Amino acid sequence: MLNSKIMKIKYLLSLLLAFTFLNVTEAQNLYGIDFTNYDSERCQKFNQAFYNRPKEVKFGIKRDNANLYFETNDKDWFNSLFVNAYDGVAIDIVAKDRYACDVSQIEPVQIKGKLLPPVFSKRLKSGLKKSGNTLYRVLVGRIPANLLNKELEFNTLFLSDRTLCQYYVIYDLEAYPWDLLDMGMYLDSITYNAKEIKANSEESYVLKNKTLKFKIPFEKNKSEYSQDDIKPLYDSLRLTDFNIKSIHIKAYSSVEGSLERNIKLQEQRASSIVTAIQAFQKPSITNVISSSENWVEFLNAIENTKHEDLKHLSKAQIKAKLVGALATEMEPILKQHRKALVTLELEKKDVYKDLSATELLNKFNASIVSDELDEAQKIQNSLFEKLKNKEVSPDLLNKMEVPNQLKYVAFLNKTSAYKYLLEAPKILIVYNELLELEKLAPKDKRVKYNIVVTKLKLWRYKALDVDKNKLKAELKALKNYGINDQLIARLLVNYHIIIAEDLMRQRDYDNKDKAVTFIEANYKKFELSDYDYLSLAQFFSYYANTELSVALLKDKAKRIDIDENLLFYYLNLTIINPELTKTSDYRTIMLNALNMNKSRYCKLFNPFGEGGVTFQLLEDDYLRSTYCENCTD
């Protein structure tokens, strides 16, 4: 709660004690707490107050040296919880060594660690003090000396009349911002203002450069590639009018053999590719290289084959079997996994790159006056590159002197569209500029498309009164102006996302479900960016159901080319759902995350408040086996 991260309560963060047994160490002092009547009348009033709390109300346990404090940001809500004399809280101090990898089996118990004496209503209310500007806290216990140097978490038992009503475990799940699916803006062609996926509400926006993607296979035990395999890459670079800005290479070996040998071989393969590509231009190109064994595609490939039983073995056990005759038999599968995925980020060649913004602006305005429109277009694009790279202020757009005439519509449209892409808060200004352009060019498809995009955004943010039926008709009518079906399908999905959000607020759940059904049936008609996957998954999760989100991302999460942040969002969405984590597919997904960023994956199991979700995830045998196999070097 009260640490800097946003906590999302998406599954059952409060474990409602639907246990049919009580397994507590007999030596544990239970302080007279009744663990068997959590569904009795004594808990009903308490649970109602607890679950009806506003979403803005936060609480948690804060450690200060050996002292433990219950903290909240709402004093009134706190007081409403503890009414009767024996309403209160007790703290279960859980140590991470409960889940040590040399422990053969974790016993299912209600009290996982050291239970501290309960603190009841009178002491809670009298001890509650202001802490900082917005918080209140009260001392609820002290950590015993023998636990002080251990990794600890603190679960809260909420009591009503000495009866346990809730046992509360807090999960620190990263929050991710999201938006409508990316619609782009029509300049000379559709240009996207792609959002990078970043956690903790740190949004980042990048105008997409052109990218080229290639797959280069390698032969067993060789770092050289076939010239035939790299020829398409060479041909693309020779034909393009773009420079290479950066190279990203993910190099993969097949899973048999020594890990150290495999990684070294992949690094050699990646370096040979960088050297070859670098020959196309100077100065040196930024490159990012990663290498790993291709466990993901191996486990995917053996599914539904006679080798499927290998999926249930550890990585070491699989390697031990992949020798001799079996390795030879499986070579047709293994050879598919030795490869490099190469992504080249390109930027358009710019003959005016070395001119200052002032020189370019003067040159652009002069070209417009002299009616050298082809030259003006090149200069405008050069100015936009400087804006994209944040070398100049967006105010420059207002200094481009373009007459309000039909033959200059392309320039005017691009200027307005760039304002939208660079400065989203100016959507209404851009929308009104486009309406004026529509009067000049009522059939221009670029202007028509951009008007619909800005109108959808303004409608979503309640910044414009919109007749939804008329807007839907305008959207569908874009086909008459040459806008393709995929772009229209994307706009229609966003239209129904906005409709569903409005219906959800109105509690019109039947019609909301109809809008969601439309979205589910149509999003496959067009290509989704990684941020689109994130946005759509969060939409399904918040406004429909988590099952749709999981189904949307499951297959993508098993692909080695998935965006790392999107993969970890999927883990964020699913890792506290034991029905998913016990599947063989989930192990494949976890190994994908480990290959991409082992440190980040293993940190999920750090203590709450120290960068982890919670180490109590290791209560799950399936998560624990993967953790112990990979995170305890």
Q: What is the pLDDT of residue 12?
A: 38
Query: Among 231-235, 294-298, 312-316, which is the least confidently predicted range?
Result: 231-235
pLDDT (mean) for 214-231: 79
The answer, yes or no, to whether the previous bond of 283 is cis (omega within 30 of 0) is yes
Q: What is the pLDDT of residue 362?
A: 95
- In this prediction, residue 505 has a pLDDT band, given cuts at 50, 70 and 90, of confident
Q: Which of 408, 409, 410, 362 is nearest to 383 (CA)?
A: 362
Q: Which of 5, 2, 7, 1 is nearest to 133 (CA)?
A: 2
Using CB atoms within 10 A of its CB, is residue 604 exposed (0-12), middle (13-18) or buried (19+)? buried
Instruction: Return the HEC string of 71-109.
Output: EECCHHHHHHHCCCCCCEEEEEEEEHHHHCCCCCCCCCC
Nearest-10 Cα torsion for 596, 599, 603, 604: 10
- In this prediction, residue 440 has a pLDDT band, given cuts at 50, 70 and 90, of very high
Instruction: Say what percent of the chain tops pLDDT 70.
Output: 91
DSSP letter assigned to residue 214: E
CA distance 597 to 427: 38
pLDDT (mean) for 407-413: 94
pLDDT (mean) for 329-338: 94
CA distance 491 to 433: 21
Structure tokens at 92: 């279960």
Q: What is the pLDDT of residue 392?
A: 85
CA 477 to the chain's CA centroid: 34
| Cβ proximity of 296 and 593 under 8 Å | no
Whether 20 has a pLDDT exceeding 70, the answer reads no
Max mean pLDDT among 104-113, 293-302, 338-347 falls in: 293-302
In angstroms, the first-to-last Cα distance of the chain is: 31
CA distance 502 to 554: 28
Residue 329: phi and psi, rounded to 5, are -60, -35
Amino acid type, 369: V
**pTM listed for this prediction:** 0.80
Query: Among 60-69, 199-208, 314-323, 524-533, which is the least confidently predicted range?
Result: 199-208
Other beta carbons within 10 angstroms of residue 518's beta carbon come to 17
Q: What is the pLDDT of residue 51?
A: 77
Nearest-10 Cα torsion for 95, 97, 101, 105: -70
Domain extents in the chain: 14-168, 557-633
Structure tokens at 508: 């019109």
Q: What is the pLDDT of residue 205?
A: 41
pLDDT higher at 595 or 13 = 595
- In this prediction, residue 407 has a pLDDT band, given cuts at 50, 70 and 90, of very high
Using CB atoms within 10 A of its CB, is residue 578 exposed (0-12), middle (13-18) or buried (19+)? middle
| CB burial readout 116-151, b (16+ within 10 A) else e | bebbbbeebeeebeebeeebbbbbbbebeeebeeee
Amino acid type, 97: D
Q: How many CA atoms lie within 13 A of 486 on its CB side?
A: 8
- In this prediction, residue 424 has a pLDDT band, given cuts at 50, 70 and 90, of low
Question: What residue spans of 128-242 are helical by DSSP H?
Answer: 227-239
Q: What's the chain's average pLDDT?
A: 86
> Nearest 5°: CA angle at 526, between 443 and 175?
110
Q: What is the pLDDT of residue 2?
A: 43
Q: What is the pLDDT of residue 26?
A: 46
Give the tens place of pLDDT for each residue, 475-499.
999 999 999 999 999 999 999 999 9
DSSP letter assigned to residue 179: -
pLDDT higher at 4 or 330 = 330
Residue 582 CB contacts under 8 Å (≥ 6 apart), including other chains: 620, 621, 622
Q: Which of 449, 427, 429 is nearest to 438 (CA)?
A: 449
Whether 203 has a pLDDT exceeding 70, the answer reads no
Whether 351 has a pLDDT exceeding 60, the answer reads yes
| Cβ proximity of 251 and 216 under 8 Å | no
Strands (E), 112-223: 114-115, 119-120, 129-131, 135-142, 152-160, 163-168, 185-186, 190-191, 193-196, 204-207, 210-217
Angstrom CA distances, 410 to 372, 380, 432, 438, stand at 14, 11, 16, 12
Q: Which of 476, 419, 408 is nearest to 448 (CA)?
A: 476
| Cβ proximity of 221 and 323 under 8 Å | no
Give the tens place of pLDDT for each residue, 249-277.
888 999 998 888 888 888 888 888 888 88
- In this prediction, residue 22 has a pLDDT band, given cuts at 50, 70 and 90, of very low
Give the tens place of pLDDT for each residue, 167-199.
999 888 777 777 899 998 998 887 776 666 665
Query: Among 52-66, 158-172, 280-294, 459-473, which is the least confidently predicted range?
Result: 280-294
pLDDT higher at 277 or 524 = 524
Query: Among 12-21, 147-156, 386-395, which is the least confidently predicted range?
Result: 12-21
Residue 406 CB contacts under 8 Å (≥ 6 apart), including other chains: 440, 441
Whether 71 has a pLDDT exceeding 60, the answer reads yes
Residue 94: phi and psi, rounded to 5, are -110, 125
